[in-house]
Amino acid sequence: MSNQSINELGSLCLMTGNANPELAHKIAAHIGVKIFDTFVGRFNNGETQVMISDSIRGKDIFIVQPTSQPVNDNLMDLLIMADACKRASAHSITAIVPYYAYARQDRKTRGREPISAKLVANLMVAAGMTRVLTVDLHAGQIQGFFDIPVDHLKAAPVLADYFRKQDFGDDLVVVSPDLGGVTRARELADYLKAPIAIIEKRRPRPGEAEVMSIIGDVNGKVALMVDDIVDTAGSLCEGAKALKKLGSKKVIAACTHAVLSNNAVKKIDDSVMEQLVITDTIALPPEKYSPKITVLSMAEAIGDVILNIQSHRSVSLLFK
């Protein structure tokens, strides 16, 4: 490593909140730094308490904190950590937010609704963040909600590396669970050199999905459904059932962000899906473990982006 690279890493401080410390430690191991000693806890009245052990004056801070459940607590922790770093004269503050909460509230679909994704972006900038790194935003246009640089990392290469090793041959078809996810499905299909199919569905109520039809050939195929978020798992389970009815010999699924709210894991266990592959953008608690769920790590991909940011090299080359 050159003296310049050593100096650049010397000014890098990697911190973690409480949302996903395991991911932060994996990133630290990959890039060869230690997690900076920072306490993030609660005062007796429930307010967030942040204490940074040593001077960070002039340092480049990277805070790992997905805004997963409990969403508002983790978001507030991130904002207060950034404010503490700003007031301690940090040179730069990059928020590593693998899972960006409120991303599904990116526009008004009816009268008198908030655009919460924009509000969260405003709060991050106001807290002092100078850059944001995130993974698979639900809506890509959220990048434009920020007045600071946003690095939008994709999980598709990590997922594709895993599925290439499964040796599905010519039987694989990548399936988008709805019309809005076609671009995401096409991206993974291009990596895997596979055709795509599309599930056309409607949502009679929030959190519920009803399959109307399937566009494409899935008969006799291994159907790989791909989505950015698995929340209640209703869409995936209904989609898997429809694919089986139309002759798919095997149904598997891949999702970047495993929210897995309510009884989602039970739905997956009881479904015709044989496997769900997720990433560690959201920590998977022990009570949500399942023999059907496989977790892949985004640590190396995120770590490489951090190194390129810190050494002022192109980040977009990594996304290709």
Residue type, 40: V
Q: Are 177 and 213 in contact (CB under 8 A)?
A: no
Both tokens of 69, joined, read 């459940």
Which one of the listed residues 201, 221, 250, 267 is annotated catalytic?
A: 201
Distances (CA, A) of 290 to 158, 199, 239, 266, 284: 21, 26, 20, 9, 10
Q: What's phi and psi for 4, nearest 5 deg?
A: -60, -45
| Residue given tokens 């999702």 in the structure block | 255
* C-alpha span between 315 and 299 (Å, rounded): 16
Is 201 an annotated catalytic residue?
yes
Torsion on CA atoms 299, 303, 306, 310, rounded to nearest 10: 160
Q: Which residues are catalytic?
A: 201
